[in-house]
Amino acid sequence: MDKNQAKERIEELRKQVEYHAKKYYDEDKPEISDFEYDMLMVELRNLEKQFPEFQSKHSLTQRVGGNVKEGFQKVTHEVPLQSLQDVFSIEEVEDFVSKIEQKAQENKIETVTYVVETKIDGLSAALEYKNGELVRGATRGNGLVGEDVTNNLKTIPTIPTKLKDSIDITVRGEVFIAKDDFEKMNQKRQENEEELFANARNAAAGSLRQLDSKITQTRPLDIYIFNVQKIEGKEFHSHYEELQYLSDLGFNVNPVRIYCKNRKEIEKAIEKIGEDREKLTFGIDGAVVKVDDLKFREILGTTAKTPRWAVAYKYPPEKKETKLKDIVCQVGRTGVITPMAILEPVKVAGSTISKTTLHNEDFIKEKDLKIGDIVVIQKAGDVIPEIVAVKKEKRTGEEVEFNMPKACPVCGAQAVREEGEVAIRCTGIECPAKLFRNLVHFVSREAMNIDGLGENIIQQLLDKGLIENIADIYTLQFEDIASLKKNGQKFAQNLVDSINKSKENDLYRLITAFGIRHVGTKASKLLARKYKNLDSLIEASFEDLSMINDIGPIVANSIREFFTQEQTLDLIEKLKKAGVNTAVSSKEDENTDNRFEGKTFVLTGTLENYTRGEATNLIEKFGGKTSSTVSKKTDYVLAGEEAGSKLTKAQSLGITVLTEIQFQEMIR
């Protein structure tokens, strides 16, 4: 490679590692594996070494990645929180030890001992104590400046707020989420069809860097302390001695620390940690080799980014081949149908893998997966098993193409994939897999508004078999409800009253409660106003629906799909029998005042006499509509106190701006 090619490649690599470091450190959303990122860094480091004229202090090989997130106070670390030099072979570890021993001879140091520890896969943090009390905690950030996350760190049960000794000390540790806790978190997110965390490290980092510590408190964070950054009034000779003292103080210290006298013992320790890594309750991404003698460390010194007295050995990701025996589909709580690979059981990184998610239809096509294929499995972040490749050269011709189902595998209702989406969804409102979520939405405030029927009560009713579908809400008996709570008579009466009251709701609330895709409260009101009763809406054609302002073809198609389902018609019949109103009430029908018809309002700022919802309801009552953005199509901007950029834009476009008093005059 000549100089021009080297320069071009170095610039390209720097851009790549900057991009992926931002995704990893700042956004906690990595797009490539740790190993792939490490390999980019190795190539960059080697090229910079080969062509020193292109070295730069701004390169990530010379500085720590990570920035302070907006919203956090900055903390300048009195002692920098440095990174570690990564090595990827035992030969590189031996080279490190040789350099240490050579330096020891130069300084007439007879023996050098080491400590080998697990490199915990988490987020580095510094804890500062004054007189034994926790006063501040911060993330590593870029090593010199981090984020003040004191309140978030205080939510971690294993961090002592008061030490056993009244001492001034700053320690460094790694915040992490244990393997089992991580799997439970992702399992719950998958059930709720939320985006899965890529790995335990990023889940921990994202949890610690929340602006609201209440969110952090709900996450199962833990910490292991592994270093004394600074201490007043005490002196240590060795790192091993420091760790013991930290443990005595009450800290949760890194449990894997192996004292080594020579390179053979170091290699054995690395091998031992590698063999035991799957037995550990926490994730690791390597083993750290440290010089034990603290005074010798001072002689060895540091670079701008890394200490010269330690290296991190990175274990290569383990990959195995196995057979894709079948692909089955699971239905989540919101109706998303997810394909799952059934595998010939294979042991990867210490765990037996027999199935893994295939995410969606596009993933299967992208990988060109067929039932019967020989596939390559690895664990993403050493936790989540994934298919990374297909061995197409091993195909026999007996492999079978897989197609996503056209009907829900649980209830048989139509399964649809809408334009612009990767997910295929079940459309059945009575699908058992979706029932909990459908019930929660049906009774919610914006829908049927059944006060007292929260998620916990709904789950209890389902667990006890007291309800099996939405209509069963209206057959609940007083005694059944009272049995859910100790001394539950008053609660039961209130809930029965609320259920009975919901039968008289306006039609738009029932339409909203159905949870039709793309149909919210605003569209439900339009439909109720247009068709007057549910039977007319059921009979409405696609063409008629498409012609309604703010409905359009996508929403019209969704409405037609919903009302042609047998499950929908069955539910409606049950609701009618229960006495639930399915028509516009006479009071609502009497309102023929459409003074705002064809007019679009945008609300901004704080109103004195109305909430946003109340003002929106008034506008819609008179035939108008609201929008969240100001454009040339906006007719009025209703501006309250502390109105911001929307008001400025309205003024620049010459749009009529209403005060609250002017608005009240318009609706009198």
pLDDT tier, 69 (very low <50, low <70, confident <90, very high otherwise): low
Cα distance between residue 601 and residue 473, in whole Å: 37
Predicted confidence at residue 350, as pLDDT, reads 60
* Residue 459 DSSP SS3: helix
Predicted confidence at residue 563, as pLDDT, reads 94
pLDDT tier, 16 (very low <50, low <70, confident <90, very high otherwise): confident
Quickly list DSSP for 90-117: HHHHHHHHHHHHHHHHHTT-----EEEE
Backbone angles phi, psi at 554, to 5 degrees: -65, -50
Q: Which amino acid is at 428?
A: G
- How far are the Cα atoms of 359, 450, 488, 489, 503 from residue 498, in angstroms, in the given order? 41, 5, 15, 14, 9
Question: What mean pLDDT comes out for the span 49-77?
Answer: 78
Q: Are 379 and 318 in contact (CB under 8 A)?
A: yes
Quickly list DSSP for 539-579: H--HHHHHTSTTTHHHHHHHHHHHHT-HHHHHHHHHHHHTT
**Residues with Cβ < 8 Å from 285, sequence gap 6 or more?**
34, 119, 121, 201, 314, 315, 382
Predicted confidence at residue 588, as pLDDT, reads 53
Confidence check: pLDDT of 504 > 80:
yes
| Greatest mean pLDDT among 60-64, 313-317, 327-331, 639-643 | 327-331
| Choice between 19 and 295, residue whose per-residue pLDDT is larger | 295
Cα distance between residue 659 and residue 668, in whole Å: 15
Question: What mean pLDDT comes out for the span 248-261?
Answer: 94
Confidence check: pLDDT of 370 > 80:
yes
Angle between helices 179-191 and 200-208 (to 10 degrees): 80
Q: For the chain, give the mean pLDDT.
A: 88
Q: Which amino acid is at 44?
A: L
Q: Are 582 and 575 in contact (CB under 8 A)?
A: yes
Predicted confidence at residue 380, as pLDDT, reads 56
Percent pLDDT > 70 in the chain is 95
**Among candidate residues 493, 494, 499, the one with its CA nearest the CA of residue 448:** 499
Quickly list DSSP for 279-331: TSSS-EEEEEEEE-BHHHHHHH-B-SSSBTTEEEEPPPPPEEEEEEEEEEEEE
CB atoms closer than 10 angstroms to residue 110: 6
Question: What mean pLDDT comes out for the span 58-68?
Answer: 69
Sheet holding 600-604, edge to edge: 625-627, 600-604, 636-639, 656-658
Question: What mean pLDDT comes out for the span 525-549?
Answer: 91
**Residues with Cβ < 8 Å from 273, sequence gap 6 or more?**
116, 118, 256, 258, 284, 287
Q: Are 474 and 571 in contact (CB under 8 A)?
A: no
Predicted confidence at residue 628, as pLDDT, reads 82
Q: Are 375 and 369 in contact (CB under 8 A)?
A: yes
pLDDT tier, 63 (very low <50, low <70, confident <90, very high otherwise): low
Q: Out of 119, 290, 525, 646, which one is annotated catalytic?
A: 119
Going 394 to 397 to 398 to 400, the CA torsion angle's sign is positive
| Choice between 221 and 210, residue whose per-residue pLDDT is larger | 221
Cα distance between residue 654 and residue 641, in whole Å: 20
Question: What mean pLDDT comes out for the span 298-314?
Answer: 92
Could you give the angle at the alpha carbon of 339 between the alpha carbons of 333 and 345, nearest 5°?
Answer: 115
Could you give the angle at the alpha carbon of 454 between the alpha carbons of 452 and 457, nearest 5°?
Answer: 90
Q: Are 439 and 458 in contact (CB under 8 A)?
A: yes
**Among candidate residues 96, 484, 596, 143, the one with its CA nearest the CA of residue 308:** 96
Confidence check: pLDDT of 123 > 70:
yes
Alpha carbon 342 to its chain's center: 26
**Residues with Cβ < 8 Å from 496, sequence gap 6 or more?**
476, 478, 481
* Residue 592 DSSP SS3: coil
Q: What are the structure tokens assigned to 562, written together?
A: 């919903």
Cα distance between residue 136 and residue 159, in whole Å: 12
Confidence check: pLDDT of 450 > 90:
yes
Cα distance between residue 155 and residue 220, in whole Å: 10
Question: What mean pLDDT comes out for the span 416-423?
Answer: 81
Cα distance between residue 136 and residue 144, in whole Å: 16
Predicted confidence at residue 625, as pLDDT, reads 84
Confidence check: pLDDT of 668 > 90:
no
Question: What mean pLDDT comes out for the span 602-610?
Answer: 87
Q: What are the structure tokens assigned to 558, written together?
A: 């969704």
Cα distance between residue 409 and residue 330, in whole Å: 8
- How far are the Cα atoms of 121, 240, 261, 584 from residue 258, in angstroms, in the given order? 18, 9, 10, 75
Residue range 238-253, pLDDT digits in tens: 999 999 999 999 999 9
Active site residue 119: yes
- How far are the Cα atoms of 443, 444, 575, 647 from residue 502, in angstroms, in the given order? 9, 11, 11, 39
Confidence check: pLDDT of 62 > 80:
no
CB atoms closer than 10 angstroms to residue 626: 19
Alpha carbon 369 to its chain's center: 27
